[in-house]
Copies of this chain bind each other. A is one copy, B any other.
Amino acid sequence: MSEIFPKVIVNFKTYKESFGSSAHNIAKAAEMVSEQSGVLIGIAPGYMEIHPLSKHFSLPVYAQHVDGVTPGAHTGHILAEAVRAAGAFGTLINHSERRLTLADVAGAVDAAKKAHLQTVVCTNNIMTSAAAAAFSPDFVAIEPPELIGTGVSVATADPAIISNSVNAVKDINSRVRVLAGAGISTGECVKKAIELGADGVLLASGVVKAKNPEEVLSDLVSKI
């Protein structure tokens, strides 16, 4: 697993495209662009799509969340072992739309590592990025509130938003990779994010809601 680090992860969220034929089509576009460009793209579809999409496509597939629990008397929870068994390669943890307690972030990272899942912990600022780095996940994905759903691009925003968070992560653990998790919509944004120290990007609607996901993905990886 150690050598597989996507530059782009597409979060399908629970958009109506997150399951069924739409999910299949986005995955297909991601696979094609990934192969053509040589830039590895990961996808995070709905839970029930983990199995079919990981079977049909040569892409790292991520769960959108796992709970920090081990097998036992929990109802409705997401077991790291179960998403792994379904074919997941990794998992998002603590996404801004699925916040966990500090104890549960640690528990989820731990459970995911034990299940051999790559871990992507989402954070919202410098302090939480540093804290997340203390868990030694594979990635910290920074989602600054200033850039979430505001239409503000990481390319035009205050560069310190990303670079300071990257530094905070690397100061705690230099081996943790960083994804820019908001303000990304074009190849220019991806380029800028990487210039600011990010190792890649995490994005969602820009690809998932696109009329032509392949076109958007092609642009996204064009300047890497």
Q: Are A81 and B131 in contact, with the CB atoms below 8 A?
A: no
The bracket for how many chain A residues form the interface is 35 or more
The interface bits of chain A over 136-179 (1 if a CB of B lies within 8 angstroms of the residue's CB, else 0) are 00000000000001000000000000000000100010000000
Q: Are A99 and B103 in contact, with the CB atoms below 8 A?
A: yes
Judge whether A127 is part of the interface by a CB distance below 8 angstroms.
Answer: yes
Q: Are B20 and A85 in contact, with the CB atoms below 8 A?
A: yes
Q: Please name the residue on chain B nearest to A83 by beta carbon.
A: B48
Judge whether A16 is part of the interface by a CB distance below 8 angstroms.
Answer: yes
A5 to chain B minimum Cβ distance, whole angstroms, is 21
A211 to chain B minimum Cβ distance, whole angstroms, is 17
- Point out which of A16, A82, A168 has the most chain B C-beta atoms below 10 A from its C-beta: A82
Q: Are B131 and A75 in contact, with the CB atoms below 8 A?
A: no
Judge whether A37 is part of the interface by a CB distance below 8 angstroms.
Answer: no
Task: List A residues 45-82 near B (Cβ within 8 Å).
Answer: 46-48, 50-52, 63-65, 67, 69, 71-79, 81-82
- Asked, given contacts A86-B48, A101-B101, A132-B102, whether A75 binds B13 with beta carbons under 8 Å apart, the answer is yes
Judge whether A39 is part of the interface by a CB distance below 8 angstroms.
Answer: no
- Asked, given contacts A48-B51, A106-B128, A131-B134, whether A11 binds B75 with beta carbons under 8 Å apart, the answer is yes
Bound together, the chains give a CA A128 to CA B213 distance in angstroms of 39
Judge whether A18 is part of the interface by a CB distance below 8 angstroms.
Answer: yes
> Can you list 8 A-B pairs, Cβ within 8 angstroms, ordered by A?
A13-B73, A13-B75, A14-B71, A14-B79, A77-B98, A94-B102, A109-B127, A131-B135
Show the binding face of A for B, using Cβ within 8 Å. 11, 13-16, 18-20, 46-48, 50-52, 63-65, 67, 69, 71-79, 81-83, 85-86, 92, 94-106, 109-110, 123-125, 127-128, 130-135, 149, 168, 172, 204-205
